[in-house]
Structure 1
Amino acid sequence: MSRLHEGAELAVDHLTKTFGAVRAVDDLSFTARPGRVTGFLGPNGAGKTTTLRILLGLVRATSGRATISGRTYGELVRPTRTVGAALEAASFHPGRTALDHLRVYAPQVGVDDRRCSEVLELVGLDAVAGRRVGGFSLGMRQRLGLATTLLGDPGVLVLDEPANGLDPEGIAWLRALLRHLAGEGRTVLVSSHVLSEVQQTVDDVVIIARGTLVHQSSLAELAALAEPSVRVVSPDARGLADLIESAGWADRVAEDGTASTGTAVLRRVAAAEVGARAFAAGLEIHELSAREVGLEDTFLRLVDERPGHVQAGEEAR
């Protein structure tokens, strides 16, 4: 079944969507390229689902465009053969078997029963093809939903929170499958509100907050934005504050509950520099520890450090 696919570039161009007074998507632009897994990331309410719904022709944009190889979804000649999409929780008839569920969609897509069996094997459900879906776990339902998106063997996959309900083994399986599909040349766009959930899967990241783009790059370039930090504790709170001010360090200070002891977490500064300056100033230090900054910390910093904006609920239609 494995073969090369001609993926399509997904392009979101100055996209804006308002629901009454709520601006769910705000002049958003980004691209997702063939042969790569792109993580579409942002906190809940950032506008991810609204953007994907516009891309798939389910919601009309207020302005801007979202296209697949230069065409809107409605302009595609055979959309189910071009794009496979799974948004939110898929709906299943509990009395149908997994195979029968796919058979319902097969005529619409233009495939036969053999293809239904192929995709069940691809997602690891071939052994339970004859079981009723009503007895499936959430993770098994997620797999069946993914099988449905793959029926038409599309070159583009758009998946909204596909890891929901999967156990660690299932997440590892999903990671390998998405890498395999992208390796065949497909364009894979995966949304998530947790970077750690997809960081071992994606090649590129698109991060949005409050409907606007805050970052787009390769995953490696995002990692390069990580800023070291140092935690410093001194029994002389006033002296520590004076040292921070005189050095011009970016910081956030958290008092530990006493009137005299100062605690600070300093960013973009090395522990050695803090120690040297404290020694020169005669400041007593009780703790000086470097902190590693992970990708998740960088992601949270990017989505938190945005100008004030109306928060848009992703459930808005």
Structure 2
Amino acid sequence: MNGNPPEPRLAPHVYGHQAAIRQFEEACAFGRLHHAWLISGPAGVGKATLAFHLARRVLGGSDLNSPVGRRISAGTHGDLLTITRKLDPRKGQLRGGITISDVQPVQTFLHHTATEGGWRVVIVDGLETLNRSAANALLKILEEPPPKAILFLTSSAPGGLLPTLRSRCRSLPLSGLKDEEMKAVLPELPDDVLRRAHGSPGRALFLARGRDSVCAKLVAQAMAGGELDHENWMTISQLAREADSFALLCDLLSEALADQARDAAFAGDLPRAAILAERTARLGQIRVQSERFNLDKAEAIREALALARQGRQD
């Protein structure tokens, strides 16, 4: 699709998130630049783009056409290290999570002298995908940060992170983009797609590929109390292999359960509203645990759909 936004490393602008940018700029201005910043928010909302924007600010590469800016764009800046999920060459897709071997280079990188005489910056994109060993290794780094070093950590599920890890970070929570900001990022997409994306450019691009109808059909069947047939099982197996599809299915189920809880509350049926609210919270736990511990997503989808069917049968 033409008109897709550039990848985060190459993005010349950040649309929205001005409150987070101001918070960081104020810390810079007053000399209170914390060593770790947790950038959290919905999937596809621009967390990695903001992380690179702030990294450019620290390294003096905000001008993409400057020598420093070009090195950051090319991935050759000696004082910037990026950690994210790697591609599995056998499967041709991203691995399920970030492992300790992915995190180990951070320790060496941060204890080397900066090649350009300033700050050393690390971006860890997708903190919720760290396995337990990787999370503990990163925590040790945050507990003993070297001078003139800063980490930007992104997460779509901050509630599932180690509390000790979260407590060592300054929080930069992001929300969805406004309608005009979405239109500026993706001017070629129709308004109905942008509206259903809830302020997430990444979600909008996914919806534009038409995959949402598959998820919506499963959710509608589950909310009606229907049993899963062979075709449903095949669909679930396919969705489990697609991170975007899994996230969208969880979002649609969560919205449907929350709507039912709200309707029950308005009707005065507070016991049922409480049960549905509890199931909505449980759905969130299923999602966080499956992503944090790299669990079988097909099983997570089945468990999530079972919650929706129970909500109908009560």
Greater radius of gyration (CA): 1
With normalisation by structure 2, the TM-score equals 0.30
With normalisation by structure 1, the TM-score equals 0.30
Higher helix share: 2
Higher strand share: 1
